[in-house]
Amino acid sequence: MLLGNLVYLPGGMLFAYFSIYYLLPKFFFEKKIRLYLVLQTAILLIYPVWSGFLTHYINDPYIWHSTTHFKLASHLSTIIILVFGMVPIASAKIAQRFIRDNAIKETLEKARIEAELKFKEAELKLLKAQIQPHFLFNTLNNLYSLAIAKSEKTPGVIIMISDLLSYIIYDCTAEKVSLEKEMNFIRNYIEIERLRYDENLRLSLHFSDDISGKSIAPLILHAFIENSFKHGAGNDPGNPWISMDLSVTDEVLNLKLSNSKVLAVNPGPSGIGITNAKKRLELIYPGRYHLDIVNEEKVYSLALDIIL
């Protein structure tokens, strides 16, 4: 029996390793499943023929000294023996490939996430860099208007602008600032804008008192407030008004802002403020904010919720 089985061993090894080390990587791992099944089935059908050839020409005349007659059960058992011989090695090969592919996927996914984070970080830095010259340009326009009118309020406005620029240059370099500082910045900005209108502008402002311990991305609200003055009340020669309600409830900041507006005959460029603010919201608070803007003929309003 030992000699007889040794005769079958080289052929069994040849068929098994051909299936495992050629058919598996060449077809199964390459997702050519149908072709793999066809070829693997052919191998399983050819192997009993090869074993029968060895039995008839080697084992029967030289080892067993008998004549073996064809039996279908014997051929089926030969196929089963080959299959069970291949299963452990094939399973190890598939498991090895699965582990390797998962490691590659994890590495690629990690590299993709890192690249995406670096891209978002670069984009966010660019957006923050755009805020400072944009803010300075619009604020200097306000100062210029006061200077042309030779207003006595000009020196005080210069001091307030200095405080605002100090906040932007030194405090806004951090990813988050205290909500209290951000609200102080908004109050000072509104006070500067209020000086341009004297008594013509009707302002309705409400700020939440429950802001201790809260933080927010710097200048994330400024563009929306600035827009109310520049493109809303600033273009209304009649009775301009602005209403703002800024509150915090259960770690959710809510900004409700509305202003009067007139239909411009020749509207100028819309600027980068609102577009910039939307992009920053998406980058800093993805899935954690909701912005609803309603632009009607005479009223512009928005509602912004941010999970801090």
Residue with tokens 């906040």: 167
pLDDT at residue 295, rounded to an integer: 86
Is pTM, for the whole model, over 0.85? no
Which are the contacts of 153, defined by CB distance < 8 A and separation ≥ 6? 146, 195
Number of H helices, E strands in the chain: 7, 7
Residue with tokens 């058992």: 77
pLDDT at residue 157, rounded to an integer: 75
pLDDT at residue 22, rounded to an integer: 92
Per-residue pLDDT of the chain (308 residues; tens, 9 = 90+): 888 888 888 988 899 989 999 999 999 988 899 999 999 999 998 998 888 888 888 888 888 888 877 677 777 888 888 888 888 888 998 999 899 989 888 888 888 777 776 766 666 565 555 555 666 676 677 677 777 777 777 777 788 778 877 887 777 777 888 888 888 888 888 887 787 676 778 888 898 877 778 888 888 888 888 888 877 766 666 778 899 999 888 889 999 999 888 765 555 545 567 888 888 888 889 899 999 999 888 888 999 999 98
Contact 153, 146 (CB under 8 A): yes
pLDDT at residue 19, rounded to an integer: 92
pLDDT at residue 71, rounded to an integer: 77
Q: How far apart are the first and last CA of the chain?
A: 78
- DSSP character string of 250-287: TTEEEEEEEEE----SS-----SHHHHHHHHHHHHSTT
Domains of the chain: 2-110 (no CATH), 118-307 (3.30.565.10)
Which are the contacts of 181, defined by CB distance < 8 A and separation ≥ 6? 167, 171
Which are the contacts of 272, defined by CB distance < 8 A and separation ≥ 6? 130, 134
